[in-house]
Structure 1
Amino acid sequence: MVGMRVPYGGSYTNNGSNESQPPGAAPEVPAMVEVHKVVPPPPQSTASKLKTRLKETLFPDDPFRGFQGQPARVQWVLAVKYLFPILDWLPAYSLSLFKSDLIAGLTIASLAIPQGISYAKLANLPPLIGLYSSFVPPLVYAVLGSSRDLAVGPVSISSLIMGPCCASRQPHCGADAVPAARLHATLFAGIFQASLGILRLGFIIDFLSKATLVGFMAGAAIIVSLQQLKALLGIVHFTTEMGIVPVMASVFHHTKEWSWQTILMGVCFLVFLLVARHVSIRWPRLFWVSACAPLVSVIISTLVVFLFKAQNHGISIIGQLKCGLNRPSWDKTNIDTTYLGLTMKTGLVTGIISLTEGIAVGRTFASLKEYQIDGNKEMMAIGLMNVVGSCTSCYVTTGAFSRSPVNHNAGCKTAMSNVIMALTVMVTLLFLMPLFVYTPNVVLGAIIIAAVIGLIDIPAVYHIWKMDKMDFLVCVCAFAGVLFISVQEGLAIAVGISVFRVLLQITRPKITVQGNIMGTDIYRNLHQYKDAQRIPGFLILATEAPINFANSNYLNERIKRWIEEESSAQTKQTELRFVILDLSAVPAIDTSGVAFLIDIKKSIEKRGLELVLVNPTGEGHGKNTASERGTQAFQVGIACILTTGEAVASLSALAKMASP
């Protein structure tokens, strides 16, 4: 039988008239009210439920869609293309695409060469290692990566973290060899990154919230810049610690080592680089100005030093660099247990940070060009890239914040731009290394400062402050931790606060009292909507979190306290008779949640009240139904109705029929 909907906020009469009634009064209802009861979901086996949950957890992107119904040969081809994305775009590659990628590849190579040398110095590595890391890893990524715009190479943040790794315990190595500790940290980073992708555990990096990253990047940028005071001031003896206090102490304790020639050159080139960056930001079409500025700075400063013999006047230079490609380094992968813990920690931190940076940049440009990248596939590509890099004298690499926008603005079409950049670096390694002998270290420091200064995002910090004060606290903690303690500890503090906030939201979920929006059948939070008004005799509550072992006791105590408050404030006209619990926004419920419903039902019945559930989700209603069929201890037996409006209407009708 089809019932009639009640116009809540007005009265219903059999003659069809609709008369208004005082605000807050209970709506009058007909004796017969159509009630849509919640239908439990169809029964599923435990194996089927587990399969569905694992699929949604580990394969939310459904990477194997399109495989079903295909012949075995086609499935093998699709699987190979999934593992090696280059096979997807290379067969259709054309000359017009190559022209665009050629320009983009040469442009980012002009930026990658000076940055590679500079970041290697930042990581306390020989300059050649930065170029090695700009040669092999981009080739590996071009085969395995799915992003068209990501420009791969060493980055400032990973270099900063890698710098102090085992500085006092590293084995002796030559001037152009990679310290074993850095290789081990790179190997651990690559294994960790690839494992996250293979095991489909990419959600772990989601614990680095935007507020955490904004604060972390700003603090790291300041620390990186302050570390470059060694080169900008010409200081020889400088601290290897990362905190702002030891860095500034080292600067002012060695004022006798300051060189005015070095300071003059550093300031001039730093101003030039910052002006070039400002020009590219102000006029995006002139992106090449900022991209070419580092290489131009290296060329001009090298010529100045060579012509005026500036190395004899206090300006330090890179020195002799050997020509040649990456040297195999797998013979150095024998791990010394004396510094195993430190290298594993460094590899873990650099792996997470570089992975977050690379995937964030890749997704940003993928959304701009309206194509998709597979996050887990990217983790595998970046991880395997670093594993190969650890065996070829490279250190941690990823998609760079500074080079990827240049690659995008230069018009890259595919990952071939990384190949062209790598080939350009290869030519440099084979033939052009003697040209860098007179390159001054102060210019490399200026290049680093100009590159990382863009990581300080003040508008983002202000936006976080306006939007969410708790997120702002996380941002400040990450910033202060990096600045005053260390990079690793600062990041750990920020992540810890973020996780604590999530746990707090789970264990202390928000519960709201609902009221009726006059003239509608909509029920909303009384404290949020001024038009919402209580329905006499009803306590309507809603929660927006899973009901589980972590919060069931809190929900039980909070609801009982609300009932006591309502009962103590009642009058004859507003006597509390019904408690409605809206579960529309409750995604899941466990056995502790079912036990909570049992307990709250018994408590409510002892007070002579009735409990009704509104729109429980499939999982919650399924467990409710299953418990009714189970033992006597778990018989819930609570009525479940589709909407709050129907629950109020049906209960009001029953109350009216029961009244004399």
Structure 2
Amino acid sequence: MVVNNKVDTLTYDVEAAQARVSAGAAGAAKTPPPPPHQHVAELHKVSAPERRSTARALGQRLAEIFFPDDPLHQFKNQSFARKLVLALHYFFPIFDWGSHYSLKLLRSDAIAGLTIASLAIPQGISYAKLANLPPIIGLYSSFVPPLIYALLGSSRDLAVGPVSIASLVMGSMLREAVAPEQQPILYLQLAFTATFFAGLFQASLGFLRLGFIVDFLSKATLTGFMGGAAIIVSLQQLKGLLGIVHFTTHMGLVDVMSSVVKRHGEWEWQTIVMGLGFLAILLGTRQISARNPRLFWVSAAAPLTSVIASTVISYFCRGHAISIIGDLPRGVNPPSVNMLAFSGSYLALSIKTGIMTGILSLTEGIAVGRTFASLNNYQVDGNKEMMAIGVMNMAGSCASCYVTTGSFSRSAVNYSAGCRTAVSNIVMAAAVLVTLLFLMPLFHYTPNVILSAIIITAVAGLIDFRGAAKLWKVDKLDFLACLAAFFGVLFVSVQVGLAVAVGISLFKILLQVTRPNTVVKGVVPGTQSYRSLAQYREAMRVPPFLVVGVESAIYFANSTYLVERIMRYLREEEERAVKANLCSVRCVVLDMSAVSAIDTSGLDALAELKRVLDKRNIELVLANPVGSVTERMYNSVVGEMFGSERIFFSVAEAIAAAPYKTVQP
């Protein structure tokens, strides 16, 4: 009987409020007062939550931040031997899927591994050139890191090796301090040292469970950054496409184009013809595979086929002004531990370069791994991926490798070729090993122009016009961040562009924290749902109530703003009531369903707001605070000020349970 009375009372209040709005002042005056609410407040008050100790509350919060996936749950109630086996499976995923590996899986992985090897070999040579490193370093980096990732990585589809963006950033940052042509040994030392610090940074993020730091690079800023970097990379390859010998070392658009124009006397028509021809072939095969995914092998085989064909042409046209790679050393990776420099005047540069390339390569690797994991319906552990990528880069720096990660192009080919496990990386590494041991002399006459064509084809896919257009349509601030990062890379430098991208991402977060979204809500006719008046045209005000929704956590950075914003809503609502000859606001309902957290400054702001409204004879009630917010309120003076009579489960119940003196016109 009490419950029915409560429902009837709530329905009566909403219908009466709607009638007052539709009928105007006259209708409002004729509306009878609502019936008394003797039992409603008792039924719907939010009781104080169970008190937790400080240590328990802090422990639960830290566990949620650093261990959201609860990695230790599988070890509970297990024997020591079983825990040891589970630990091996956790830290070395190869023991997990390797226990049920079969010849059928090996056949699929072997085909996929050989397919991506045909792409990895020319890309490795090209990307090393992009990083201003000897071409052989690119092949070294396609041998050792994939073997380590196969042991530690949790992705089945990720194909590991050098990538264009990390190569570009490393090359541009190191080149500003050291010229690779003049000081090749020092430049190589800095590259290996930067790779070590990149791996140390990546592994530390995974070990300390701090992977959320990488998320500060938003998709919008990365879209602009990669688009600008792709254009800069492509323009840098004009040196190889045109056959220019003396080219600018700067990365800016103006410097590159000025160098191209000033050095027009060095252009070689033979190089231009060969470069444009193979560039057209590579781009054409890319379009064929994009339109028909079953023909993925066409674009996958095109780089190696182009290298072979161009090498044959260059051999028969030797002496005709076509620049070639030259001799490449035969053999496996030589050790480079003695080349790591942890002291000296360039240490800061190595650390900075390592962190920059580490962040970029980590972002790409995890994004690619998660993308293909979602396609195959399995989970990728982000923190384990960070540790795997970090360890393989640290080990790679000791084996003449530079920064590597999961490549999107090679992973896409790996996925399309039907890979089933990380064994495809082992097969690819074996193919690279055979190349290093026996096939290196065949690359002597490989022209540099084909490497430039391969790089242009690879980075062309980084320019995402559709993504930028979508940003403009959905979020103008994200589009502005995208443009700022794009032009920062294009007209200043890659480092500045990346710094701008990170800065805009942080600025956006600060803007959303300090100026959170707030809305005035009204009831949707025929329901007990309260929605934004600006978004839902059918929503109606319920005088004399002012319902305000806060869609953010309440912190010290925004608490003052929220109080001022609510008071401004109150002034606007009172002015509207005067013009429409309606009753003035007698109760402010603060909808806190979207308030995920609150600190002491936020609690003080609520207390101050209540004191201000009390002086104006206006009630302040709270609706639907989440558990952690409710707990903090009851542990502070706010709980005493509001009590259980002014905190409700929903806006509708707060309005239904309002005292008679509050709703009376």
The within-5 A match list for 1:22-421 is: 23=22, 29-32=34-37, 34-35=40-41, 36-167=44-175, 168-169=177-178, 179-309=188-318, 312-421=319-428
Cα distance in 1, alignment partners of residues 464 and 474 from structure 2: 16
| Aligned alpha-carbon RMSD (Å) | 2.4
Cα distance in 2, alignment partners of residues 166 and 615 from structure 1: 55
> Match for residue 579 of structure 1?
588
Cα distance in 1, alignment partners of residues 456 and 569 from structure 2: 57
Q: CA deviation at 1:64?
A: 2.3
Cα distance in 2, alignment partners of residues 210 and 107 from structure 1: 30
Q: Structure 1 residues 415, 177: closer, same or farther in 2, change over 3 A? A: farther
Code of the residue aligned with 2:516 in structure 1: it is P
The within-5 A match list for 1:468-479 is: 468-479=475-486
Cα distance in 2, alignment partners of residues 382 and 394 from structure 1: 13
Judge conservation of contact 1:165–1:346 (CA < 8 Å) in 2: yes
SS in 1 for 2:172: coil
Cα distance in 2, alignment partners of residues 599 and 363 from structure 1: 46
Q: Structure 1 residues 96, 178: closer, same or farther in 2, change over 3 A? A: farther
SS in 2 for 1:451: helix
- Whether 1:436 and 2:443 are equivalent positions in the alignment is yes
Cα distance in 2, alignment partners of residues 556 and 30 from structure 1: 33
Cα distance in 1, alignment partners of residues 594 and 14 from structure 2: 31
% same residue? 57
The range that moved more, 294-303 or 59-68, is 59-68
Cα distance in 2, alignment partners of residues 328 and 236 from structure 1: 32
Cα distance in 2, alignment partners of residues 148 and 155 from structure 1: 19
Cα distance in 2, alignment partners of residues 269 and 176 from structure 1: 33
Code of the residue aligned with 1:597 in structure 2: it is L
Q: Which digits, 9 at most, give the CA deviation of each residue in 1:322-374, with x for residues without a partner?
A: 21110000011133421122221111110000000000000000000000010
Code of the residue aligned with 1:576 in structure 2: it is V
Q: CA deviation at 1:562?
A: 2.6
Q: CA deviation at 1:171?
A: 8.8
Judge conservation of contact 1:627–1:635 (CA < 8 Å) in 2: no
Cα distance in 2, alignment partners of residues 639 and 56 from structure 1: 31
Judge conservation of contact 1:366–1:372 (CA < 8 Å) in 2: yes
Code of the residue aligned with 1:348 in structure 2: it is I
Which of the residues 573, 590, 596 maps onto 1:566? 573
Q: CA deviation at 1:563?
A: 2.5
Code of the residue aligned with 2:92 in structure 1: it is F
Judge conservation of contact 2:555–2:598 (CA < 8 Å) in 1: yes
Cα distance in 2, alignment partners of residues 43 and 518 from structure 1: 39
Q: CA deviation at 1:170?
A: 6.8
The range that moved more, 363-372 or 29-38, is 29-38
Cα distance in 2, alignment partners of residues 389 and 281 from structure 1: 33
Judge conservation of contact 1:170–1:179 (CA < 8 Å) in 2: no
Judge conservation of contact 1:9–1:520 (CA < 8 Å) in 2: no
Code of the residue aligned with 2:374 in structure 1: it is S
Judge conservation of contact 2:143–2:433 (CA < 8 Å) in 1: yes
Cα distance in 1, alignment partners of residues 17 and 553 from structure 2: 41
Q: Structure 1 residues 174, 131: closer, same or farther in 2, change over 3 A? A: farther
Cα distance in 1, alignment partners of residues 18 and 437 from structure 2: 91
Q: Which digits, 9 at most, give the CA deviation of each residue in 1:250-283, with x for residues without a partner?
A: 1111111100000000011001111111111111
Q: Which digits, 9 at most, give the CA deviation of each residue in 1:216-245, with x for residues without a partner?
A: 111111111111100000000111211111
Q: CA deviation at 1:169?
A: 3.3
The range that moved more, 72-81 or 467-476, is 72-81
Q: CA deviation at 1:566?
A: 3.2
Q: Structure 1 residues 455, 27: closer, same or farther in 2, change over 3 A? A: farther
Q: Structure 1 residues 256, 655: closer, same or farther in 2, change over 3 A? A: closer
The range that moved more, 368-377 or 481-490, is 481-490
> Match for residue 633 of structure 2?
624
Cα distance in 1, alignment partners of residues 186 and 124 from structure 2: 15
Q: Structure 1 residues 538, 553: closer, same or farther in 2, change over 3 A? A: same
Q: Which digits, 9 at most, give the CA deviation of each residue in 1:147-202, with x for residues without a partner?
A: 01000000111111111343353799998997101011101100000000000000
> Match for residue 617 of structure 2?
608
Judge conservation of contact 1:189–1:347 (CA < 8 Å) in 2: yes
Code of the residue aligned with 2:597 in structure 1: it is A
Cα distance in 2, alignment partners of residues 612 and 84 from structure 1: 54
Judge conservation of contact 1:229–1:251 (CA < 8 Å) in 2: yes
Q: Which digits, 9 at most, give the CA deviation of each residue in 1:73-119, with x for residues without a partner?
A: 21121112111111111121100000000000000000001111111
SS in 1 for 2:563: helix
SS in 1 for 2:584: coil
Cα distance in 2, alignment partners of residues 553 and 360 from structure 1: 38
Q: CA deviation at 1:568?
A: 4.5
Q: CA deviation at 1:519?
A: 2.3
SS in 2 for 1:89: helix
Cα distance in 2, alignment partners of residues 349 and 477 from structure 1: 18
Could you tell me which runs of 5 or more consecutive residues in structure 2 were left unpaired when the two chains were aligned. none
Code of the residue aligned with 1:56 in structure 2: it is E
SS in 2 for 1:326: coil
Judge conservation of contact 2:10–2:653 (CA < 8 Å) in 1: no
Code of the residue aligned with 1:408 in structure 2: it is Y
Q: Structure 1 residues 122, 172: closer, same or farther in 2, change over 3 A? A: closer
SS in 2 for 1:242: coil
Q: CA deviation at 1:506?
A: 0.9
Which of the residues 638, 643, 649 maps onto 1:642? 649
Q: Structure 1 residues 240, 359: closer, same or farther in 2, change over 3 A? A: same
Q: CA deviation at 1:18?
A: 14
Code of the residue aligned with 2:498 in structure 1: it is L
> Match for residue 563 of structure 2?
556
Which of the residues 480, 491, 503 maps onto 1:496? 503
Code of the residue aligned with 2:453 in structure 1: it is A
Q: Structure 1 residues 482, 6: closer, same or farther in 2, change over 3 A? A: farther
Code of the residue aligned with 2:217 in structure 1: it is L
Cα distance in 1, alignment partners of residues 182 and 252 from structure 2: 27
SS in 1 for 2:234: helix
Could you tell me which runs of 5 or more consecutive residues in structure 1 were left unpaired when the two chains were aligned. none
Judge conservation of contact 1:624–1:636 (CA < 8 Å) in 2: no
Q: CA deviation at 1:248?
A: 0.9
Judge conservation of contact 1:29–1:649 (CA < 8 Å) in 2: no
Judge conservation of contact 2:607–2:638 (CA < 8 Å) in 1: no
Q: Structure 1 residues 489, 546: closer, same or farther in 2, change over 3 A? A: same
> Match for residue 7 of structure 2?
5
SS in 1 for 2:75: coil
The range that moved more, 325-334 or 165-174, is 165-174
Q: State the TM-score, normalized to the length of structure 2.
A: 0.94
> Match for residue 525 of structure 1?
532
